[in-house]
Structure 1
Amino acid sequence: MPRRSVLLFAGACIVFAAVLALVTMVVVTGREGAGAGEATSTGQPLVGGEFHLVDQDGRPVDQTMLDGKWSLVFFGFTYCPEFCPTTLAELAAVQQRLGAQADDLQIVFISIDPQRDTPQALKDYLSSDGFPRGTIGLTGSPEQVAQAAKAYRAYYEKVGEGDGYTMNHSLTVYLMGPDGKFRTAVAYGLGPDKSTKIIQDAMARG
């Protein structure tokens, strides 16, 4: 390939990578200082929206369950060997650090493995020691789960066959405001102190 063509191709790759990184950042975290995670052009939330699921007691719920409280929404599954229990344990530590502010915060765990995660399975799992008290577990049909994940831009994929399959999935925790709209993202592995500060700062902004 001529040297000029190589340079042009390399330049195009760099531009594409930069654009892709910017788009990914906007989808995951929203804009700094944007109201409720709204996009500039459309005014629509980048994260969150309509869903229809059932909780760990088998009761139908929808997105209105987020109204009136701050909510940490997290997608995972009960057979998760590491990331989900680690995240839930960290959220339990955050809950303790928030003190009285935790009364205004609910933690919502949405299963991306409806084949195994029945309401009862979620109830048993979330009652484990070391997990946040009062965590709400949600599941549903594969179609309902897919709709919820799409609304939150959450990735998941079944890996393997038979009883031993697992699930790959995104690890972001989404902080939703009392109006049910996206405020900010809490990345995996930040630790309780940094995560608590992100949540408290968002609560202070309203």
Structure 2
Amino acid sequence: MNILRVLPIAASLLLAACQGSATPAEAPLAGAKIGGPFTLTDQDGRTVTDRDFAGKYRIVYFGYTFCPDVCPTDMATVGQAMTLLDKSDPDLARRIVPIFITVDPARDTPPVLKRFVGAFYPRMVGLTGSRAATTAVAKAFAIYAGKGAEQPGGGYLVNHSRQTYLMDPQGKPLALLPTEQGAQATADEIRRWAS
């Protein structure tokens, strides 16, 4: 077989393979059973359901306002990522709602949540509710949360999973956001899966 005849065929096959890989990949969490309906209370004391966010991408994070390090760091990253998107792609940013759901409803009342989420991004929503309601929604999102040992003075920590979910406009999971890598990486991942 003449090698000069084979080379153009091989080159065209490689080119076709490369072009095929340019199609968007399926979102990493597509089809995962994460999320579901909920009824909670926002930072302004209003009753909110999952349906109130229909048609919007959602960044969903579970934590608590008394968290000494991880929660405020992750929320600062989400707020900074949203600020980056406000500047680079304001249309996309308007279609995203960052949501902080407490795993410590006993202390995270609406006024406490209002101060907390307001420190990170003006459109961030804080949600609380009864212990049963917040536990149920955490379970639906595959979040572990458990009260730690009492601290001196009566305080306590809450051990919890650390995931930052990007959900689609129907409330289905798309991807985990890399908040540990900073605001730019988080904004890039949002842009990758939200269109």
TM-score by length of 2: 0.79
For the 8 Å contact 2:43–2:127, the answer to whether it is kept is: yes
Q: CA RMSD in A?
A: 1.7
Matching residue of 1:37: 30
Does residue 1:72 correspond to 2:66, yes or no?
no
Q: CA deviation at 1:161?
A: 2.6
Q: Distance in 2 between matches of 1:77 and 1:36?
A: 25
For the 8 Å contact 2:78–2:179, the answer to whether it is kept is: no
Identity among equivalent pairs (%)? 36
Does residue 1:158 correspond to 2:147, yes or no?
yes
Structure 1 or 2, whichever has the larger Rg, is 2
Q: Distance in 1 between matches of 2:100 and 2:117?
A: 9
For the 8 Å contact 1:71–1:107, the answer to whether it is kept is: yes
Q: CA deviation at 1:34?
A: 5.4
4+ residue runs over 4 A deviation = none
Provide closer, same or farther for how the CA distance between residues 84 and 144 of structure 1 changes in structure 2, counting only shifts above 3 A: same
Letter in 2 for 1:62: T
Q: CA deviation at 1:188?
A: 3.9
Matching residue of 2:158: 167
Provide closer, same or farther for how the CA distance between residues 34 and 201 of structure 1 changes in structure 2, counting only shifts above 3 A: closer
Q: Distance in 2 between matches of 1:94 and 1:64?
A: 25
Q: Distance in 1 between matches of 2:159 and 2:74?
A: 15
Matching residue of 1:145: 134
Q: How does 1:30-179 map to 2 (within 5 A)?
A: 33=26, 37-38=30-31, 45-99=32-86, 100=90, 101-128=92-119, 131-161=120-150, 163-179=154-170
Note the residue ranges of structure 2 that are not aligned, 5 or more in a row: 1-24
Aligned residues: 165
Q: CA deviation at 1:69?
A: 0.7
For the 8 Å contact 1:158–1:166, the answer to whether it is kept is: yes
Letter in 2 for 1:189: E
Q: CA deviation at 1:142?
A: 0.5
Letter in 2 for 1:106: V
Provide closer, same or farther for how the CA distance between residues 104 and 136 of structure 1 changes in structure 2, counting only shifts above 3 A: same
Q: Distance in 2 between matches of 1:118 and 1:160?
A: 21
What do the CA deviations read for 1:90-148 (whole angstroms, capped 9, x no partner)? 112101211202111111000000110111111122222xx122110000011000110
Matching residue of 2:16: none
TM-score by length of 1: 0.75
